[in-house]
Structure formats: C-alpha cells, structure tokens
Structure 1
Amino acid sequence: MKLRSWQFECINLAISKYTSPTASSDFKKHFLALATPGAGKTIMAATLAQNLYELDLIDLVLCFSPSSIVSSDFSDELSAQFKTEFNGKVGSLGDALTYQRFGTLDNDTWKLFDRFRVFVIFDEIHHCAGSSNLDANAWGAPIIENIRDKAAFTISLTGTPWRSDALPIALSQYCDGQKIQCDYVYGLKEAIKDKVCRIPQIVAIDNDKIVITKTKEKNVYSSFSSLLAAKATSYSRIVTDDVVTKQVASRAILKLDEIRKVNKNAGGLVVASSIQHAQQIKTIMWSEFGKRGEIVTTNELKPSQKIKNFRRSSDEWLISVGMVSEGTNIPRLQVCCNLTNITTEMYFRQIFGRVLRKTGSPNQEAFMFMPAEPKLINYAERMCQDIPDDVSKIKTVKMDEPIETEIDEAIIDEIEITTSPASTIEIEDLPIFIPYEKESKQIGEEESNSTLDSTWSMGIVGKYRQDSLKVTDLEPFLISDTAKNKLADLSRLAV
C-alpha cells in the first residue's frame, strides 16, 4: 500500500529521532504523533514497526489501545505488514491488547522487555495519564513502571492531545508545564487539503419556547442554552427525551437518505447516552421512520464482531453508547447523530472523527446532528476554524419549522414527577413533551439539586430551529493557489 505523504514524513521523522546521536536521552526513544481522526494513524504506526524490524532495531511489537475493535484493527494491520500473526501466541512477533488488559498481564510479559527489544504502540495515549507514580491513573501507571524505561522505542498516537482532568499525558513532554510538545502534527486543515478527510458540517437543533413548571410556577426559555444557563434542567434530561431524539434523528435520517441516493453504501452512527437510551433510539427510529438500527454496546454478544459486520455491510444505522466514539475505523460512515450526554470537547471531536475519513465514493459529505447545547456549538465552531480563513468561512443558516407535538399547559400543573429512594424517575405515559430517564442509576449532584423538586415538568411549545455551521468555499474540493501556498507554509516538522 502506498503511504500518504504525512505518513511517510512521520515514519522518517520517528526513525530519525530514535537513531539520532544528539537527541535527548530521556525522550529519544519516545515519539508523539498528533494526527486528525481519520488520517490513517493505524497504517502509519504498523508500517513504522515493520521498518524498525527490517532495520534490526526491534524484536517484538506490542500495541495498546482503548477498545477491542481498535486492537483488532491494529492486529490485522500488523499482520498484513509483517505477514505473520499478531496474537501473542508462539511464533507471532507480538500482540495487540486493550489498556484494560494492563491489570491482567503477569511478570512473564514484563520480562519480555528485559529479554527483547520491544517496540510499543500506544493508540489514543491521552487515556493514559501520569508523569510519575504520583499523578498516574490506572492506565498510566503500568506505562511508567514497566514500559517507559525498558521499551526499545515507543510511538504514542492521538487525535485529541489533552485530558479533561488536566493531568499530564503519559510519555509526553510539556512546555512551561502546560503546552504539550508533539513530535509530528497533521491537522484537519492539512488532511482536507490532501483529500484525506471530509469537510465537517454541523447541524444544531434548538427550540424558541420551552416551558418549565415547578410546583405550579412556570418559567419560559427561548433556547436550550438559556434553559441550561438557568439550571432549570440538565442536559441529560434534554438529550434523552423522546421528542428531542426524534427531532435530531429525523434530520440525520433525511440527510443519510439523501447521501445514499448517490452513495448507496453510506452509513450513519448514533451515539446514545446509555444502553437504555440506545434501545429507546432504536424503537423511535423504527416506529417513526421505519429505519432499522443495529445496537452495539458492551451488553451485546460479541460487539466487536458486530462492528466489523457493519463495516463490511451496506446497512444504514449503527447505534452505540461509546464503543464507536473513538478510533473505530468504519470509513463508510458519513452522518453522525450526537445524542450523548457527555459534553467535553475531546469526546465531541472523537465522535465527529468517525465520519471524517474520506473514501473513493462520489459523495463525500460529513455531517453531525445534535441538540444546540452551547458547549457543543463552541466546539463545532473551533473545529470549523481549523480551516485557514483564506480557504473557508463559517456560515450560519437558520430554518424554522413548527413543532410536531403541542402541549396543553393546563395539564402541566397536574403532572407530578416523583423520585424513589433509588433516585429513579417515574412518570405517566402522556402524549406530551416530558423528559425522563428510566435508568436505575444515581443522578448527578447538580441535577438532583436543580431539577428534582416535588413537582416538575417541561414542555416545548415553540418552533424548532436548525442552525448549520458550514465550512463553505471548498466545494468541489478546489482550493485557490493563495490558499495552497498558505497551507504549504504551515509549520509542519521537516524530516
């Protein structure tokens, strides 16, 4: 397989660092590559391993990643490069494991680092925290204790080089204690320019009149943003509601149907907030739109095989909680529906990364549909701004449409939501917009303090509004000479 330019550059730079007689001894053997989701980090890392083996610099290869499906992908790619098995059995040259396996590895495994020259690949290294045992998390501690000083070489891969808890990422260097130092950077703007990634398009769904009733006192909000700012409810309640789910999913379904008229194999991904929410989404998609969705969660039998089957099929929709949010390679995905209650920038980018990988199909659009949560909109704007100003601009388009479900405000006063000692929520089955979660889980402190009054209800009586954040002026993937020169001058490390 012919390497992309960035993959070739990154491999050469890594080998140059590993073999440099002048590089710092502390981090000479550790390499950090930041590459946008969908760029092809798996192929790059596997090819680097094979090159190091051919140069007689390593004996074995171990790969660690955050999920079984990603580990399987790495195992397949390493096997293709080395033309031998990578399953940890006798005769293989290594293995691909999940970070969860750290806790099960015995001393015999760690002794390999004393007997052989081991090259270690860390995928999505931001999951592993710690500069020492004092600040290491459960996945960072084994790296610091058993791998950092004993591995022949390591390469750490990430598309989101930060952590929500602000802990240092394992095997990483920082400037002034804050800014991470990457050995190689391949961003979204370079990937779009190289026709490696699709152009991101984000659609946020909002409503202009939301009525909250607590103990017969009504408050009206003009958007989800104002509703959340007043702490009148939680985002978990909004995102798991049947009507919100239907409003967001309907637009995603229409867009995928449109894309599949040109590209019949295009697929869509829905990321849910919980396993129960995934089942709820599946029911809504079938009952309201006649669309079948394949659920893949940790509760399913052989979920990794389900993902592989979906990758090879032409089925339309995959519904997941977290298994397909990061690192999973399903290039035919072009539409994602973000219905998770997690609102961190890292998770947002990881979800969107599933639809950015470009293929040879005629339609190469990439869409995310989501409720208009203010933090998510900020992340979307920042992602669009990764494209140079001279190449693109952000355009906002608003579309009003009537709500599908009316609410009788006289009924609101009669609705009572009670909480059991186990903090589960039970409500009557009424044909109005009332957010609820029937999950048997503890409700967060913020939610319990702000939303669980003795009488509580929410109704949306306004119109839905659709805000589209579009990167324009790039179709049909033709970039001006001025823009190309700017892109060529970007500060990419030279070999």
Structure 2
Amino acid sequence: MTSSLRRWQTRCIEKALKQFTISRHFFCQATPGAGKTRMAAELARCLLEQNKIDLVLCFAPSCQVVEGFRSTFAQVLGKRLDGQLGAVGAAHTYQAMDYRDDAFWQLLDDYRVFTVFDEIHHCAGHDPLLSNAWGQQILQRVQDRAAFTLALSGTPWRSDDRAIALARYSSPEGKLICDYRYGLSEAIAEGVCRSPRIILLDNQKVTLVEEQVAEPAVRLFPSIATLLTESTVTYESLLRHDEVIDQLLRLGSAKLNEIRRSKPDAAGLVVCTDIEHAQQIANALRARGESGLVVTNQTPDAQQVISSFRHSDCRWIIAVGMISEGTDIPRLQVCCYLSRIRTELYYRQVLGRVLRRTLETDEQAWLFMLAEPILKGFAERIAEDLPEDLAVLSQFELTATSPDSFLSDADAGGLAKIDQGGHELGSLRGEADDEIAPVSDSPSYQVSFSPHYRELLLACF
C-alpha cells in the first residue's frame, strides 16, 4: 500500500479488498474533498497487482470529473485510462453510456473489469420502473457482469427519494448501508479537510417600496428572511441586487486578501445563477479592482479555462454550474454562494469545492451567503456532518408513466453534451438549462438596505 495515502484511504482499500473476496460490490461514502478518486485509483492498482482484474472502467457525472479520473489513475497506475490502444481502461460520463455499442459492453464478458462509479447518487437503480436512464444502464449492463464495482458518493441521497444504484438499504427502515463511511467531522479531525466557516449576511432594516399601487407603499422588514416570507420579493431577485452582490463580494474579497498574505495563490469561487448573472458579478469584481474568470457551459474550451485557473494565481473564478461537484481546484478557499439552487445536495457539493486541504496551515474554508431560511438550515446541519435521515429511502407511489419523467435536480447536475457520434463535447452542469433563459421582467418594487449589516458565523468546527 502506498505510504502517502491518508489513513482513511488505506482503511477503505483494506476493507474493500476483504469484501471483494465474498462480494463484487462496494459502496463508499466519503465527504467531498476527502480524496475519493485517489483511493479508487490505489484500489485499482491493488487489484491489478493481485491479478484479479484486467481492465478498469470509470464513470462520472461531468467531463471535468472524468478528466480528473484519467489524470489520477494514469499517475497511480502508470498507464493511461483514455480507452486508446495500450490503455488500462477508459473513463466516461454517465451520459455517454447511452452511446456505447454492444461491442463496448462485451468487454465485461470477455475481461475481468473493475468498474468505478463516481457520485453514484446521480444514478437511480434497483427497480427498472423506478430507475433513471443512467441507473438502467448500470442495472442492465454492469451490475451482474463486472468483476468488481466501486460506488462512490460524498452526498449519498437523492431529492426524489429513489434508491441509488448499487446501494443496499436496511429493511424495513430503508437506511442506506455504506460499506465504508468517512464523514466531514472525521476528515477535519484528521487534517484531511478544512474546517468550514459559513457566514450568513443579513440586514436588520430592509426597505421595500411597492410601485404597483397609485400611492407607492413603503414597508420595513427586520431581516432578509422576513422580507422573503412576508412580501413578493424573491430570493433570486435579491441575488441580482447590486448591493447584495457588492456586500457578499466585499466579505469574500476581504477574507481572500487575508488568506493570500500567507498563501499567495489562494483563490475564491463565486457560484452564480445564469450567464447574465455571472457577467453582472464579473463587472462588480472589476469595479473593485479584482481579477476573475467566467466559466459556463457556453464558454469555449471551458475545461481548458478551468485547468488554466487551477494552476494560475488568478484570484476569482465565476461559475455557472461548472464547479460544483468533483472538480478539484485545491487552492480554492473562499466561496460566495449566489446560486438560486437551494437543495442540500447541491449546497454541500459546492461547499466541498473549498474544503480540500493542501497545507498544514490552511485549516479553514470560508463560504459567504445570504441569510435565507433554507440555506441557513443547511448551514446549521453542516456541523452535524451527514444528516442520516437524508440517506433513508422513503417509500412512494409510482405516478409517472415513463422512468425518464423522474429526472430530478440531482440528475440535472452533470449531464454531458454528446454529439450524434457519442463524443463528449462539454458539460451541462447544475443550472445549465437556465443559463440561456431570458431574464424576467423587472419587478414592480424596489428594495434597499440599511448600511449596517449583520454577519452570523455558523458551522464552526
């Protein structure tokens, strides 16, 4: 076993090798940023050295993550994972599975194949009627044909409560059974992940002027949460409010300045709602004298842009769905959350982008966001590590006529663009369908804030 492995990686590999003597499947839940890809590559190396497998196939939810798998496996195995002549295997997106022909899948019958599924929660399986397209491929093509399978997830639950492919659940409780679990609190204690510091921005005097009436009505609210629950103002409209953007960027920039005094290449991530929103934020950063790159699914050579940023000293990257899950940029240490997505799965995946630790001294990660009630609840639960109730399979009635109609926000993240020949062109991540949507008409109200803001620190380990 490689000496540079983290303790959890070594323990997980040892347990997987032992389990593979009696079962072909292994499910690992490890917090985002813990190093699941490296663990999977080292496990593949052990299986190859023990002459238990001939080939390796990896599947992941986006092109960026696939490239990370190819790079890490090539480094660990000393052989390419690009599917070309002389390679030890291949890595593809889940979407690309639909475009592989029978000759490709015949590999699982002709050779002993180790298959790795990253962020397996994107694949709903078990029952063909309750599976999504990716889960069906695993059920029909892989589950009973692969020599061994490794399912990985940092957030092993689905927002639609369907079973995850290759996962086992207790009966009758429906609790997910992980063969190995490595939580955020353990990762922080062992120095694997940074400790999150989540800052919620609030305002105790919000003024709303409603303009749709003859006499404009002026109302005051003691918090952003009250404004959102007792008025027609939407969370998304606040995300586009120039003053809100400026305040969140001010906090993020100040923290980034502080961190860069001891870590000069530290960087920040701004997670946006759509392309126009990203450009608005880029303009706001420029007005502050900041440098930043914008990357969306419309960005030419987006993967190259992300790779260039990974190895540069540019301060900010402004992303729409492109850097939320699995993308490895260790120098990211500050995040401003300005996405309209409010699911715990997406929120935790974004937080994971700034948790990957690189030095003994970079023990903290910072996330700044509005004090919106749902997001505040997620932040409060971060300190509880993985809420076990989210990994419980709930029973529900089948109401849709087509399995594809079950596509959820968990599935929407990580679709890959595929041309008619099955070649991966880019990725449609997170809010991709909304990136090119027209902006709605201006609201019939104006919101202003008191100069005095309140900052609440949560999720401090």
Instruction: Return 169-178 or 303-312, whichever deviates more.
Output: 169-178
Give the 3-state SS of the residue equivalent to 2:90 in structure 1.
Answer: strand
Q: Which amino acid aligns with 2:289?
A: G
Give the 3-state SS of the residue equivalent to 2:342 in structure 1.
Answer: coil
Using the TM superposition, give the Cα deviation of residue 61 of structure 1 relative to its aligned residue in structure 2, in angstroms.
0.5
Contact 1:210–1:223 (CA<8 Å) still a contact in 2?
A: no
166, 170, 194: which one aligns with 1:198: 194
Q: CA distance change for structure 1 residues 200 and 108 in 2, over 3 Å: closer, same or farther?
A: same
Q: Give the equivalent residue in structure 2 for 1:464.
A: 453
Aligned pair 1:87/2:82, yes or no? yes
Give the 3-state SS of the residue equivalent to 2:133 in structure 1.
Answer: coil
Question: For residues 39-70 of structure 1, what are the alpha-carbon distances to aligned partners after superposition, in whole Å with 9 as ceiling and x for unaligned?
Answer: 11010001101111111111110111111111
Give the 3-state SS of the residue equivalent to 1:336 in structure 2.
Answer: strand
177, 186, 189: which one aligns with 2:185: 189
Q: Give the equivalent residue in structure 2 for 1:277.
A: 277
Q: Distance in 1 between matches of 2:443 and 2:258?
A: 43
Using the TM superposition, give the Cα deviation of residue 364 of structure 1 relative to its aligned residue in structure 2, in angstroms.
3.0
Alignment of 1:59-208 (within 5 A): 59-175=54-170, 176=172, 178-208=174-204
Q: Percent identity?
A: 44
Question: For residues 407-458 of structure 1, what are the alpha-carbon distances to aligned partners after superposition, in whole Å with 9 as ceiling and x for unaligned?
Answer: xxxxxxxxxxxxxxxxxxxxxxxxxxxxxxx986378xxxx9xxx8x97113
Give the 3-state SS of the residue equivalent to 1:378 in structure 2.
Answer: helix
Aligned pair 1:348/2:350, yes or no? no
Q: Distance in 2 between matches of 1:224 and 1:29?
A: 51
Q: Distance in 2 between matches of 1:6 and 1:64?
A: 23
Contact 2:207–2:218 (CA<8 Å) still a contact in 1?
A: no
Contact 1:204–1:466 (CA<8 Å) still a contact in 2?
A: yes
Give the 3-state SS of the residue equivalent to 1:471 in structure 2.
Answer: coil
Give the 3-state SS of the residue equivalent to 2:26 in structure 1.
Answer: strand
Instruction: Return 237-246 or 358-367, whichever deviates more.
Output: 358-367
Q: CA distance change for structure 1 residues 363 and 44 in 2, over 3 Å: closer, same or farther?
A: closer
Contact 1:61–1:120 (CA<8 Å) still a contact in 2?
A: yes
Q: Which amino acid aligns with 2:269?
A: L
Using the TM superposition, give the Cα deviation of residue 144 of structure 1 relative to its aligned residue in structure 2, in angstroms.
1.1
Q: Which amino acid aligns with 2:253?
A: I
Q: Which amino acid aligns with 1:306?
A: V
Q: Give the equivalent residue in structure 2 for 1:252.
A: 252
Q: CA distance change for structure 1 residues 380 and 114 in 2, over 3 Å: closer, same or farther?
A: same
Structure 1: gaps of 5 or more residues: 21-27, 388-437, 473-495
Q: Distance in 2 between matches of 1:77 and 1:280?
A: 35
Contact 2:191–2:363 (CA<8 Å) still a contact in 1?
A: no
Aligned pair 1:52/2:22, yes or no? no
Q: Distance in 2 between matches of 1:252 and 1:236?
A: 20
Question: For residues 62-81 of structure 1, what are the alpha-carbon distances to aligned partners after superposition, in whole Å with 9 as ceiling and x for unaligned?
Answer: 11111111111111111122
Q: Distance in 2 between matches of 1:317 and 1:310?
A: 9
Structure 2: gaps of 5 or more residues: 387-433
Q: Distance in 2 between matches of 1:458 and 1:108?
A: 61
Contact 1:271–1:321 (CA<8 Å) still a contact in 2?
A: yes
Contact 1:297–1:320 (CA<8 Å) still a contact in 2?
A: yes
Contact 1:215–1:455 (CA<8 Å) still a contact in 2?
A: no
Contact 2:120–2:165 (CA<8 Å) still a contact in 1?
A: yes
Report the aligned-residue RMSD: 2.0
Q: TM-score normalized by structure 2?
A: 0.84
Using the TM superposition, give the Cα deviation of residue 184 of structure 1 relative to its aligned residue in structure 2, in angstroms.
0.3
Q: Distance in 2 between matches of 1:384 and 1:310?
A: 30
Q: Distance in 1 between matches of 2:280 and 2:381?
A: 31
Q: Distance in 2 between matches of 1:291 and 1:139?
A: 41
Contact 1:38–1:197 (CA<8 Å) still a contact in 2?
A: yes
Using the TM superposition, give the Cα deviation of residue 86 of structure 1 relative to its aligned residue in structure 2, in angstroms.
1.0
Q: TM-score normalized by structure 1?
A: 0.79
The structure with the larger Rg is: 1
Aligned pair 1:215/2:225, yes or no? no
Instruction: Return 223-232 or 324-333, whichever deviates more.
Output: 223-232
Contact 2:274–2:436 (CA<8 Å) still a contact in 1?
A: no
Contact 2:271–2:335 (CA<8 Å) still a contact in 1?
A: yes
Using the TM superposition, give the Cα deviation of residue 363 of structure 1 relative to its aligned residue in structure 2, in angstroms.
3.6
Contact 1:207–1:460 (CA<8 Å) still a contact in 2?
A: no
Q: Which amino acid aligns with 1:244?
A: V
Count matched residues: 406
Contact 1:202–1:470 (CA<8 Å) still a contact in 2?
A: yes
Using the TM superposition, give the Cα deviation of residue 131 of structure 1 relative to its aligned residue in structure 2, in angstroms.
1.4
Contact 1:214–1:455 (CA<8 Å) still a contact in 2?
A: no
Using the TM superposition, give the Cα deviation of residue 215 of structure 1 relative to its aligned residue in structure 2, in angstroms.
2.2
Contact 1:200–1:356 (CA<8 Å) still a contact in 2?
A: yes
Q: CA distance change for structure 1 residues 73 and 461 in 2, over 3 Å: closer, same or farther?
A: closer
Q: Distance in 2 between matches of 1:94 and 1:126?
A: 23
13, 24, 30: which one aligns with 2:15: 13
Contact 2:379–2:459 (CA<8 Å) still a contact in 1?
A: no
